[in-house]
Copies of this chain bind each other. A is one copy, B any other.
């Protein structure tokens, strides 16, 4: 079970990044995976790392089609095989 977070920073388009971030989140949602946007990053939940990478790959490439020239994409993957670990579990654990 995978819980992950991902964020993007577009370089070279002024100090505003919100258009890129919004477009990126839309791209992630197209994957059909569970996507939870937050203020600093977007959390994603999935069963397999390949599904996560496919979703990010598509969202990341969408930004270049929009005309961005340079993107820094950061990903943190928590892949746990010994027990089911969801975003809901993580939120409950810190409540």
Interface residues of A (CB under 8 A from B): 3-5, 7, 9, 11-15, 17-18, 21-22, 25, 36-41, 43, 49-50, 53, 56-57, 60-61, 64, 69-83, 87, 90-91, 93-94
Q: Are A43 and B43 in contact (CB under 8 A)?
A: no
How many identical chains are in the complex?
Answer: 4
Instruction: Provide the residues of chain B in CB contact with A93, threshold 8 Å.
Output: 18, 21-22
Q: Are A72 and B77 in contact (CB under 8 A)?
A: yes
Q: Can you name 8 A-B residue pairings with CB atoms under 8 Å?
A: A11-B80, A15-B80, A18-B90, A36-B39, A38-B41, A39-B43, A53-B53, A60-B79
Instruction: Provide the residues of chain B in CB contact with A77, threshold 8 Å.
Output: 60, 71-75
Instruction: Provide the residues of chain B in CB contact with A37, threshold 8 Å.
Output: 94
